[in-house]
Amino acid sequence: MPTDLVTKSGHNKTKRTRTETPEHRRSRAAAILRLLKKEFPHPATALLHGNPFQLLIATILSAQCTDERVNKVTPGLFRKYPTVRAFAEANPAELEQDIRSTGFFRMKTKSIIACSTALLEKHGGVVPNTIEDLVQLPGVGRKTANVVLGQAFGIASGVVVDTHVHRLSQRMAFTDADDPERIEQDLRSIFPQKDWIDVGSILIFHGRRTCVARNPRCAECAVCELCPSAGSFLRNNP
């Protein structure tokens, strides 16, 4: 069985051992996904948006912020700034106040204005639909790019790795990496490409509801019997 490690942050990290073959891991992962799909049959992003550009802005705003908080801000924001050009030409001080409640508002304002400007200058104001073009935009990393590609375009170019996917992938022993890009590589090798969009969304939902950062609810978890970390959390929280 894999061995359990508890990191300084209190997150359980399960170290893979040589006892699980890649084939077994893939089949265990498929079983986990099947069970979680029953819990989350419609795992679309909760971020409100009407087009790929609005999802891009909402995803930038969602960094270090809840979707609920972002969704309180974006309807008014998208009415006030209805186009890419409107965001590109926004008054920075005013935009900062408009998005202040989402946190890190100065950095997000810079990203939104720079990203919108780059979209106008390099892509005719249209959000590109390739990972290569998206990650070139200011403020857009692989996580944001994968959210936009998967949720707005239906393109499975990669797996979204946010803090929940990071934590759950380690607990479920899908990876022993800490770097999000390496975690994404491991997930891409475990799950078939047709599932890449759902894997990210479903792990995020499961991480919010059940496999929370502190004291995960293993006793009520649908995949408890397939998760090598369950034992250590159940021992700690009988």
Q: Which residues bind ligand SF4 (CB under 6 A)?
A: 171-172, 210-211, 216-218, 221, 223-224, 227, 229-230, 233
Active-site residue identified among 4, 98, 143, 195: 143
For 195-208, give one letter per residue: b (16+ CB within 10 A) or e. Answer: bbbbbbbbbbbbbe
Q: Which is nearer to ligand SF4, 84 or 202 (CB)?
A: 202
Instruction: Find the shortest distance in angstroms from Cβ 115 to ligand SF4.
Output: 34
Q: Which is nearer to ligand SF4, 56 or 227 (CB)?
A: 227
Instruction: Find the shortest distance in angstroms from Cβ 50 to ligand SF4.
Output: 34
Active-site residue identified among 162, 186, 195, 198: 162
Instruction: Find the shortest distance in angstroms from Cβ 53 to ligand SF4.
Output: 35
CA distance 168 to 121: 39
User: Which residue, chain included where needed, has tokens 């939104």?
Assistant: 112
Instruction: Find the shortest distance in angstroms from Cβ 45 to ligand SF4.
Output: 21
143 as an active site residue: the answer is yes
Q: Which is nearer to ligand SF4, 56 or 190 (CB)?
A: 190
CA distance 118 to 124: 9
Q: Is 65 exposed, middle or buried (0-12, 13-18, 19+ CB in 10 A)?
A: middle
Q: Which is nearer to ligand SF4, 174 or 196 (CB)?
A: 174
DSSP for residue 195: G
DSSP string, 98-123: HHGGGS-HHHHHHHHHHHHHHHHHHH
Q: Which is nearer to ligand SF4, 28 or 143 (CB)?
A: 28
8: enclosing H helix or E strand: none
Instruction: Find the shortest distance in angstroms from Cβ 225 to ligand SF4.
Output: 8
198 as an active site residue: the answer is no
Q: Which of 51, 92, 90, 49 is nearest to 71 (CA)?
A: 49
Q: Is 228 exposed, middle or buried (0-12, 13-18, 19+ CB in 10 A)?
A: buried
Q: Which residues are catalytic?
A: 143, 162
